């Protein structure tokens, strides 16, 4: 529940503040152009990284391995792509962080631990009592 408050209240307020600051520093039209540019580049990078993740998963399955690393990469690429398509500078920075393979390796263990805790808490499964 705390994450929802942060996501729907704090992040948009931060984005608005960054838009206003950017508009004052570089002007309105360059700010709009920067927002459009990050969206287009984000979509291109997400597509490119998504294809690389699919290829890695195929390669793992061809060799008889579970594609667990590729699945975590896919989660990061999906989240990063969505964040880059969302207008805003703060979400663009986080999305870029999730899309780049170099920085993604720092986030993957955190996501794996979080997903493991959700599975252990039976969040994804309905157990009839």
Q: Residue range 22-42: average pLDDT?
A: 92
With a CB cutoff of 8 Å and minimum separation 6, the contacts of 95 are: 42, 79, 80, 81, 82, 83, 84, 85, 86
122 dihedral zone (left: phi>0; alpha: psi -120 to 50; beta): left
State the alpha helices, DSSP H only, in 2-129: 2-5, 11-26, 28-62, 68-85, 89-99, 101-120
pLDDT band at 84 (very low <50, low <70, confident <90, very high): confident
Task: Say if residue 27's pLDDT is above 90.
Answer: yes
What pLDDT is stored for residue 115 in this prediction? Answer: 80
What pLDDT is stored for residue 116 in this prediction? Answer: 83
- The mean pLDDT of the chain is 86
Burial letters 18-37, b for 16+ CB under 10 A, else e: bbeebeeeeeeeebeeebee
Distance separating alpha carbons of residues 46 and 10, to the nearest angstrom? 25
Predicted TM-score (pTM) above 0.85 = no
Tens digits of residue pLDDT in 54-74: 998 899 888 888 888 888 898
Residue 57 and residue 67 in contact, taking contact as beta carbons nearer than 8 Å: yes
Nearest to 46 by CA among 89, 93, 99: 99
36 versus 120: which is more confidently predicted? 36
**Chain CA centroid to CA 71, Å:** 14
């Amino acid at each position: 529940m705390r994450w929802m408050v942060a996501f729907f209240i704090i992040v948009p307020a931060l984005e608005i503040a960054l838009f206003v600051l950017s508009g004052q520093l570089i002007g309105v039209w360059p700010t709009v152009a920067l927002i459009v540019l990050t969206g287009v580049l984000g979509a291109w990078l997400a597509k490119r990284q998504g294809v690389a993740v699919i290829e890695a998963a195929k390669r793992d399955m061809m060799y008889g391995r579970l594609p667990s690393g590729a699945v975590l990469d896919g989660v990061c690429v999906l989240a990063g792509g969505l964040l880059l398509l969302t207008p805003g500078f703060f979400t663009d920075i986080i999305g870029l962080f999730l899309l780049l393979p170099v920085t993604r390796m720092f986030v993957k263990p955190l996501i794996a631990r979080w997903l493991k805790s959700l599975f252990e808490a039976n969040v994804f499964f309905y157990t009839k009592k």
